[in-house]
Amino acid sequence: MSRQSVSRRVTAPSLRTRKGGEKIVCLTAYTAPMAQLMDPHCDVLLVGDSLGMVVHGLPTTVGVTLDMMILHGRAVVRGSSQALVAVDLPFGSYERSAEQAFDAASRILCETGAQAVKVETGQGVADSISFLTGRGIPVIGHVGLRPQAVHLEGGFKARGRSAEEHERVLAEARATDEAGAIAMVVEGVTPALAAEITATVSCPTIGIGASHVCDGQILVTEDMLGLFDWTPKFVRRYADLRTTIEDAVQRYAADVRSGAFPASTEEYRLGSRT
């Protein structure tokens, strides 16, 4: 990657300065073609471990591996040139120790060309964030609903509804910020908790199911585009591509079966240059 191409991208320091300013636009991306389409409009493209569910059909994100994240991370970096690309550290790749987290994060940055990693902030993870940032690795934290803890927490449930839970998530957010995170995803929390986190931490917050009070927003792109028959409450569908794709495939199948496709104009001819 040339020095010029690096300089065109949103950088970790410039992302952090967006606190309280123009809202940060973030979407998930898993492939080069989709990254190319979204790149001109987004500040951050997140290669989320949600790819396990969205692309690979897994029931949760727990089964996603580091190699899977690197494969998709490479594709998104190739397909983009302006947005900051962040890649999730998957379950099991960072929880044991700061050194384990560094090994996984350094692999991601070296092998994909991404500019940051994202970690779900549970017990002890703030220490690992500090370890990473102190060694030159930009980190985006993730508090509130933590998909990698789905088994421990009994499903994908909103967080912060009790006073005890409110204080726990707020404490995790403070620790993540103090550890040097460049930004923080806040997922599935009450508007009051999202507002308190955003007002408390110095880094920008990026909400998903956390109301409009955050410094930016992120959605799973396939949810936003209407590719699934069910979407979470907090998702606004901006398209209905599921219906569009089903209709296109149905018409293609009908044309193949009837012999209408391919037509003579879609065939190669001897002596033709086209």
Q: Could you give the number of structural domains in the chain?
A: 1
* Ligand-binding site membership of 39 (annotated): no
229 is in an annotated binding site: no
Which residue range forms the structural domain that includes residue 155? Answer: 3-224
- How many C-beta atoms surround the C-beta of residue 11 within 10 A? 16
Q: Is 267 labeled as ligand-binding?
A: no
Task: Look up the CATH number of the domain holding residue 202.
Answer: 3.20.20.60
Q: Establish if 271 belongs to a structural domain.
A: no
pLDDT averaged over every residue in the chain: 92
pLDDT value at residue 271: 75
C-alpha radius of gyration, the chain, whole number: 21
Query: Is position 246 within any domain?
Result: no
- Position 17 in a domain: yes
Catalytic residues: 187
**In-domain check, residue 113:** yes
> pLDDT digits over 138-194, tens only?
999 999 988 776 666 655 566 666 888 889 999 999 999 999 999 999 999 999 999
Q: Could you tell me if 213 and 191 are in contact, meaning their C-beta atoms sit under 8 angstroms apart?
A: yes
pTM for this model (two decimals): 0.92
Please report whether residue 245 resides in a domain.
Answer: no
**Residues recorded for the chain:** 274
Please give the pLDDT value at position 126. Answer: 95
Residue 151 lies in a domain: yes
- What are the E-state strand segments in the chain? 24-28, 44-47, 84-88, 116-118, 139-144, 183-187, 205-208, 216-219
Is 50 marked as binding a ligand?
yes
Model pLDDT for residues 31-86, shown as the tens digit of each residue: 999 999 999 999 999 999 999 999 999 999 999 999 999 999 999 999 999 999 99
| Lookup: tokens for 15 | 């992302």
Confidence of residue 120 (pLDDT cuts 50, 70, 90): very high
Identify whether the C-beta of residue 183 lies closer than 8 Å to the C-beta of residue 202: no
Residue 234 lies in a domain: no
For residue 123, being part of any structural domain is answered with: yes
